[in-house]
Amino acid sequence: MHGMGGDDESAHGGPAGQAGQPAGLAPELPSELAARKADLRLRVLGARRRLSPAERALAGRQLRDAILEAPQTQMAGTVAAYVSVGSEPDTRALIFALWKRGTYVLLPLLRPDQDLDWASYEGPDSLVDGQRGLVEPSEPPRGVAAITSADLVLVPALAADRVGNRLGRGGGSYDRALARVGVAVPTIALLYDEELLEDIPAGPHDQRIRAVAQPAEGIIRLA
């Protein structure tokens, strides 16, 4: 759920708003765009694999605290999140903390058509192994439109840039889901430090995110 935009072995695939080519430039061929994205994915995943377990654990705690303390989170009755896998920044402690303080947490279920369904998180015991190495909620699916009820959406990503372009895993799952999110709803990608880049290759169907969270910098709003 994350080709959704996720991690090494996963499928983890931002807000409504399409990315496009700068004015005056010829449109990039789909094959060229795909090649640029694939190269960047390899570089980011390589850097993530070089992080030590201690560095990953610290990043997860810092991101958890930044998200929990954010006004957007404190005002949110429903949060759409995701369960981290592989070398993604850890989200399990964050999800648990949200749930414990009474927030209704939705987690994605990857459908056969690569779209995202959603189901509620009811504590650590409600998580089960899913397809493609993902971890998913065992509660009944609520449908692809359930994300429209979220007051805040936390998004997996490999990298992002300052205008909101997001690098996912290439499956397009999160782009489809984010296209359903209202324009006033915060959409925040969780990144490691150094993953907010100057430029992310993007096509017309790539959905932009509205903010990122990084361990050292906290939440950064994007243009």
Domain 30-221: what homologous superfamily? NagB/RpiA/CoA transferase-like (3.40.50.10420)
* DSSP run (H or E) holding 97: helix 92-100
User: What is the structure's pLDDT at 130?
Assistant: 86
pLDDT at 169: 86
Terminal C-alpha separation, the chain = 25
Q: Count CB-CB contacts under 10 A for residue 51.
A: 15
Q: What pLDDT digit, counting tens, does each position of 148-196 carry? A: 999 999 999 999 999 999 999 888 899 999 999 999 999 999 999 999 9
Q: Give the Cα separation of 152 and 177 in Å (integer).
A: 13
Q: What is the pTM of this model?
A: 0.86
The pLDDT value recorded for residue 174 is 96
Question: With a cut of 50, which residues of the chain have pLDDT below it?
Answer: 1-11, 13-25
At residue 104, the pLDDT reads 98
The residues facing 107 across adjacent strands are: 119
User: Do the Cβ atoms of 10 and 133 come closer than 8 Å?
Assistant: yes
pLDDT at position 1 is 44
Contact 91, 157 (CB under 8 A): no
C-alpha count within 13 angstroms, C-beta hemisphere, residue 73 = 23
* Sequence spans of domains, the chain: 30-221
* The predicted structure's pLDDT at residue 18: 37
The per-residue pLDDT for 20 is 44
Per-residue pLDDT, 28: 57
Give the pLDDT score at 180.
97
Q: What is the DSSP string of 38-91?
A: HHHHHHHHHHHHTS-HHHHHHHHHHHHHHHHHSHHHHT-SEEE-----TTSPP-
